Amino acid sequence: MVRLVAVDLDGTLLRSDGTVSARTVAALDRARNAGARVVVVTARPPRYLSALAAATGLGGLAVCSNGAVVYDMDSDRMDVVGELPIALAERTAATLATVLPGAAFAVETGRRCLIGPGYGHVARRDGDRYPVLAAEQLWTGGDGCVKLLAWSPAPVTVEVLRHLGPLLPDVALTWSGGSGMLEVSAAGVSKVGTLARLCDGWGVRADEVVAFGDMPNDLSVLSWAGTPVAVANAHPDVLALAARVTGSNDEDGVAAVLEEIFGPPTGAPPGGGLDGGTTPEGSVVPRR
């Protein structure tokens, strides 16, 4: 019995152009109507979720910023459950600057992102970005920090994370596929830790959860969930762990599995199971 659907956004629920298909929206609605909770579990900040919810009607709670924030999409309420102390963020940036060539930094507060000089990562449709003139201003913004973002011209890989881990024991390091992007949270903060606490409060067991993901920062959730599902475009480590592999994000792979579990929307043909099936015309685009 599936009582909760945990789904990543980029590369998993969202197509490559950032849209959500009408088929996927209908499949999520079908799961809710069957009594299951749907929880988005993402590295994205709350401000992005507010735009997505407005465009798609997606509601409920979301685990944002790799577990640092629980965001209520219905009330626009943001609860920080894993703040990264700003002094620790500053020390971490100083260490990363010595080992990552050309590293530059940004501070995510949940409501806005302070962008330091030289930070070269451009996030698609991600507003509320505030460039600062000097790196020192990142640590004096006064809005707190839920995640430190580091960008380097050199690619970030699993091997890079393994090298950095012993140098930074007081933080958690992840990456979610952005070119040259490294994400830093407080030690012990993770997608799965926050999701598991929510499930405890709801009386939902891990074996009653189906989880979808595509990148290494999804591995903790997929390892914990009773039914871990990878989309076909997932990182090799995710494909190796998952119990099932569905169609890619561009083939509405999440919708295909949800239709198998909960049935297709009323009046619609079956979606094609784990092969992804056909995709109906129309998609929903998050707008600002």
| Neighbour-count burial for 261-281, b at 16+ CB within 10 Å, e otherwise | bbbbbeeeeebbebebbebbe
What pLDDT is recorded for position 61?
A: 94
**What is the helix, strand, coil percentage profile of the chain, to 5?**
35, 20, 40
Q: What is the pLDDT of residues 262-288, one digit of tens each?
A: 998 665 544 433 333 333 334 443 332
What pLDDT is recorded for position 33?
A: 95
pLDDT band of 63, cuts 50, 70, 90 = very high
Write phi, then psi, for 59 (nearest 5 degrees).
-135, -170
- For the beta carbon of residue 282, count every other beta carbon within 10 angstroms: 10
Task: Please calculate the CA angle 241-219-121 and round it to the nearest 5 degrees.
Answer: 130
Which domains occur in the chain, in start order? 4-80+190-284 (3.40.50.1000), 86-186 (3.30.1240.10)
Percent of residues, the chain, with pLDDT higher than 70: 88
Spatial neighbors of 106 by CB under 8 A, at least 6 apart, are: 113, 114, 115, 116, 119, 121, 138, 148, 149, 151
Q: What is the pLDDT of residues 131-159, one digit of tens each?
A: 899 999 999 977 889 999 999 887 777 78
One-letter amino acid identity for 146? V
Q: What is the pLDDT of residues 176-192, one digit of tens each?
A: 665 678 999 999 999 99
Strand partners, 284: 20
Please count the CA atoms within 13 angstroms of the CA of 12 that sit on its side-chain side.
Answer: 30
What pLDDT is recorded for position 195?
A: 98
- Residue 162 burial by Cβ neighbours in a 10 Å radius (0-12, 13-18, 19+): exposed
Mean pLDDT along residues 72-91: 96
What pLDDT is recorded for position 272?
A: 36
Mean pLDDT along residues 223-227: 97
pLDDT band of 100, cuts 50, 70, 90 = confident
Task: Answer for the pair 138, 107: CB distance below 8 angstroms, yes or no.
Answer: yes
User: In angstroms, rounded to a whole number, what is the distance separating the alpha carbons of residues 31 and 50?
Assistant: 21
Write phi, then psi, for 254 (nearest 5 degrees).
-65, -45
What pLDDT is recorded for position 130?
A: 85
Please count the CA atoms within 13 angstroms of the CA of 44 that sit on its side-chain side.
Answer: 27
User: In angstroms, rounded to a whole number, what is the distance separating the alpha carbons of residues 244 and 173?
Assistant: 26
- For the beta carbon of residue 20, count every other beta carbon within 10 angstroms: 24
Task: Please calculate the CA angle 199-212-110 and round it to the nearest 5 degrees.
Answer: 65
